[in-house]
Amino acid sequence: MKLAGLKSVDGAHEESIWAAAWAPAADHRPTAVLLTGALDETVRAWRPDDLASAGPPARGHALGVVSLAAHPAGALAAAVSLDSFVRVFDVDSGASVATLEAPPSEVWGVQFHPKGNALAAAGGGSGSVKLWDTEKWQSITSLAVPRPEGARPDKTGSGKFVLSVAWSPDGKLLACGSMDGTIAVYDAIRMKFLHHLEGHHMPVRSMVFSPVDPHVLFTACDDCHIHIYDAKEKTLIGAMSGHASWVLSIDVSPDGLAVATGSSDRTVRLWDINMRSSVQTMSNHSDQVWAVAFRPPGGAGVRAGRLASASDDKSISLYDYS
pLDDT of residue 85: 87
pLDDT digits (tens, 9 = 90+) for 177-204: 999 999 999 999 999 999 999 999 999 9
Q: In what order do the strands lie in the sheet with 235-241?
A: 204-209, 216-221, 225-230, 235-241
What pLDDT score was predicted for residue 300?
A: 66
Give the C-alpha separation, 61 to 99, whole Å. 10
Q: pLDDT tens, 266-290?
A: 999 999 999 999 999 999 999 999 9
**How many CB atoms neighbour CB 232 within 10 A?**
18
Which residue numbers in the chain have pLDDT < 70? 150-159, 299-303
Backbone conformation region of residue 105, classed left if phi is above 0, alpha if psi is from -120 to 50, else beta: left
CATH (domain of 197): 2.130.10.10
In this structure, is residue 186 part of a structural domain? yes
Residue pair 200/223 in contact by the 8 Å Cβ criterion: yes
The answer to whether position 153 is within a domain reads no
Rg (CA), the chain: 18
Q: What's the number of domains the chain is made of? A: 1
- Is the CB of residue 76 less than 8 Å from the CB of residue 62? no
HSE-up of 225 (CA within 13 Å, CB side)? 14
Domain assignment present for residue 293? The answer is: yes
- Which positions ≥6 away from 78 have C-beta within 8 Å? 68, 69, 70, 71, 86, 87, 88, 89, 110, 112, 119
Q: Among 116, 53, 110, 112, which residue's Cα sits nearest to residue 86?
A: 110
Measure the CA–CA gap between 319 and 170, rounded to whole angstroms. Answer: 28
Give the other-Cβ count within 10 Å of 105's Cβ.
Answer: 15
pLDDT at 154: 47
Is the distance from CB of 93 to CB of 100 less than 8 angstroms? no
Q: How many CB atoms lie within 10 A of CB 16?
A: 17
> Does residue 154 fall inside a structural domain?
no
**Domain of 246?**
3-147+159-321
- Tell me, yes or no, whether 139 lies in a domain: yes
Backbone angles phi, psi at 135, to 5 degrees: -90, -55
